[in-house]
Amino acid sequence: MTGKTFAEKQLSGKSGRDVHAGDYVEAEIDVAMAHDITGPLAFQTFDEVTGSDGALFAPDRTVFTIDHHAPADGVQAANNHNALREFAAEHGAHQYDVGDGICHQVLVEEGHVGPGDLVVGADSHSTTYGGLGAFGTGVGSTDLGTAMATGDLWFRVPETRRFEVEGDLPEAVYAKDLVLKFIGDVGFAGCTYMAAEYAGSTVAALPLHERFVLANMAIEMGGKAGIVEPDERTARYLEAQTGRAPSTDVDDPALHADPDAEYVDVHTYRAEEIAPQVSTPSNPENAVDVGKVEGTEIDQLFVGTCTNGRFEDMQVVADVLEGEEIAPNVRMVVVPASGAVYQQMLETGVLTTFVDAGAVVQSAGCGPCAGYHQGVLGDSDVCLATANRNFPGREGSMKSSVYLASPATVGASALYGEITDPRRVDTSRYDDVALAKGARS
């Protein structure tokens, strides 16, 4: 028998069986997560499974967040929030409230997830935890409600596609550009029910906030999970973030694919050849080099989401906007991914830079990402977002359009009021910004 992929090892370990892709397992989960939209439905299933006085499989490893409609944007949302608060209090689960941030950011920031964990979340971007070397996957509320009671869930062990990138990323090219490129290459269904393993020297050199971007968007090609294997960087991140070393040795072979593992295929890239990417409406798979869409008119810029709403993302945009104003024809909506990110923006002056530049900075959460509130698009609106999805109607009207890009591309485009190649205003050459603007006008 050949070696194993990360997913095969992970699901072998959690099921206590020696399994390969295609096998079905009952696996023990480490962490269960739900939020203000999916939680209340999961609670119904939980009550049906356990009876009304049922207990959680592990209250300290069950986490709820209020993030999608936070603060409440209507009575239904407010009632859902209360249902979540009551259930969490009654069952002793962790519960994060309005302003604490997006589930995926909160779970990693607060140390609820570590390498080697099997995490199920009632949200499709639960693949994000793969950035830490965990197997994170999204499940429906019914599955989650059952898993909250039993502590296990069935899985089909996924096949794996591997994306290997070697070399140094060029200026103004980020993990977001890499993952948009991957999605463009394999298509939005290219990894359906597969794990995506991200590897190579470029990926190994990525800081954790960038690894999360790769893992997060695995679902945009249908991925069951997106994995960056853990290493010393992972351990350092967790210690800095949570004050604790990971409970598992990051070098444990159980957390690393075997060299002779079997893949569906391996896609190889040279980092130097990758240009900033933009996904055009209305599918993340429509990734093109930014040059192809430069000059496209936009109405709104959105910086935020579980993909690119971290402090480092905010910092990149603020570096571009410092001392400048956003173009008069656009509006800019900024939504930090967590309360901690908000706090850091406040302490470092990034928030002031945004406000001075004319942006609207809102409370931490999902913001307009899924079209609920805080910047919903009208019929004719065109938005350039650091988000992960741009399906029809995603951020509002079915007639609106959303382009996806990195924070650097969104920052540069804010200055010019149209889609702009970020290499024209690279932050390390910040003094040239005025020059570049002059050359343009």
- Tell me how far apart the alpha carbons of residues 169 and 159 are, in angstroms, rounded to a whole number: 28
Smallest separation (angstroms) from ligand SF4 to the CB of 281:
17
Residues 125-154 that bind ligand SF4 (CB under 6 A): 125
Tell which one of 80, 388, 400, 409 touches ligand SF4 (CB under 6 A): 388
Select from 122-130, 181-189, 240-248, 252-260 the region that touches ligand IPM (CB under 6 A).
122-130
Query: Is 366 one of the annotated binding-site residues?
Result: yes
- Tell me how far apart the alpha carbons of residues 212 and 175 are, in angstroms, rounded to a whole number: 9
Ranked by CB distance to ligand IPM, the top (closest) residue is: 124
- Tell me how far apart the alpha carbons of residues 150 and 11 are, in angstroms, rounded to a whole number: 17
Could you say which of ligand SF4, ligand IPM, none residue 126 binds, taking C-beta under 5 to 8 angstroms by partner kind?
none
- Planar angle of CA 218, 371, 296, nearest 5 degrees: 80
- Tell me how far apart the alpha carbons of residues 125 and 109 are, in angstroms, rounded to a whole number: 16
Q: How far are the Cα atoms of 83, 293, 323, 324, 434 from residue 431, in angstroms, in the given order?
A: 52, 25, 11, 12, 7
Query: Is 383 one of the annotated binding-site residues?
Result: no
User: Which is closer to ligand SF4, CB of 279 or CB of 388?
Assistant: 388
Kindly state whether residue 123 participates in binding ligand IPM, applying the rule CB under 6 A. yes
- Tell me how far apart the alpha carbons of residues 225 and 379 are, in angstroms, rounded to a whole number: 34
Smallest separation (angstroms) from ligand IPM to the CB of 398:
15
Could you say which of ligand IPM, ligand SF4, none residue 38 binds, taking C-beta under 5 to 8 angstroms by partner kind?
ligand IPM
User: Which is closer to ligand SF4, CB of 335 or CB of 414?
Assistant: 335
N-to-C CA span, the chain:
64
Query: Is 306 one of the annotated binding-site residues?
Result: yes
Smallest separation (angstroms) from ligand IPM to the CB of 5:
25
Q: Which residues contact 365 (CB under 8 A, 6 or more apart)?
A: 67, 68, 70, 98, 99, 101, 102, 335, 374
Contact present, 177 and 406 (Cβ < 8 Å): yes
Could you say which of ligand IPM, ligand SF4, none residue 137 binds, taking C-beta under 5 to 8 angstroms by partner kind?
none
Residue 25 bridge partners (DSSP):
155
Which residues are known binding-site members for [4Fe-4S] cluster?
306, 366, 369
Footprint on this chain of ligand SF4 (rule: CB under 6 A): 68, 102, 123, 125, 305-306, 366, 369-370, 388
Footprint on this chain of ligand IPM (rule: CB under 6 A): 37-38, 68, 123-125, 138, 370
